Amino acid sequence: MSGVGVERLGREHLDEAREVLRAACAFDRAAVVAEEKLFEPAPAGPAEAWGARVGRRLVGVAAATGKWLRLLAVTPDARRHGLGGALLDATGATRTMDLPGNYLAPGIDERDVETIAWLERRGWTRKGTNTNLLIEVRGNPRVVAPPPRAEYELRRAGPGDGALIAAIAAEFGGAWPFEVARALEGGGVHVAIHDGAYAGFAAHDGSNAGLGWFGPAGTWPAHRGKGVGEALLLACYLDVAADHDVCEVAWIGPRAFYERVAGIAGERRFVVLTKESP
């Protein structure tokens, strides 16, 4: 294939990149969150994006943060010409997708057997799996406004909740403060307050903003077992139901909890692969 080149991408290439993602991604709505995945940072560092062109046409894109491959896509008509390999080499990544704080998916969808096999032929090995749950939220009779809690104030977090991020960092740590800060910008965070202090929080659309993904969420230890987590989850489900039929719960922990609150309509499983440095 003549006239092939790999180049760094900037936000000025966003419209072209979206067209690539629409054509190339069969299992994730990457085009909807293209700007976030290609150009916005994660707790581990900034995003770096690359594109592959045939002549003047952009036919492939990739993004990485540090060791994490965030995104890799080549349009179907341009595959099997080495473009995916060239993009992968440009990223220098050694782990797929499960980037804390700003992920498209927590691995490669297990249905994407072609991509998984392609990576394995290049020396990548499977290191584990992750699961997302699909929850029907629109029209679900169990997704209703949470009942009031006598000891707690349940409300949407807003500009006056600047202390929330520091409180989450102190109690839970990890990538959660970063992700909740992103969700807070879009109004997608609910909190429970007890005696003037945070007792619990739940967020949606902190990663994959606009796709209706739930998480993260947490309850401070002294307030667990009192229905706080369920109430905050329902508040988020109702938010998501305004725009989506289904809420996707990423990287699940307590599966039985989600089943009890509103039922589980389905699930997605993802494969995590890594490549040892030479």
CA separation for the pair 30, 51 (Å, rounded): 15
Q: What is the pLDDT of residue 253?
A: 77
Q: What is the pLDDT of residue 9?
A: 98
Q: What is the pLDDT of residue 3?
A: 57
Percent of the chain topping pLDDT 90: 93
Q: Are 18 and 66 in contact (CB under 8 A)?
A: no
CA separation for the pair 264, 31 (Å, rounded): 26
| Angle ∠(143,148,153) on CA atoms, nearest 5 | 115
CATH of 135-269, one of 3.30.230.10, 3.40.50.2020, 3.10.350.10, 3.40.630.30: 3.40.630.30
- Give the chain's residues under pLDDT 70: 1-3, 277-278
Fold adopted by 4-93:
Aminopeptidase (3.40.630)
**CATH topology of 4-93 equal to that of 135-269?**
yes
Residue ranges covered by each domain of the chain: 4-93, 135-269
CA separation for the pair 117, 126 (Å, rounded): 10
Helix, strand, coil shares of the chain, percent, nearest 5, are 30, 30, 35
CA separation for the pair 73, 238 (Å, rounded): 33
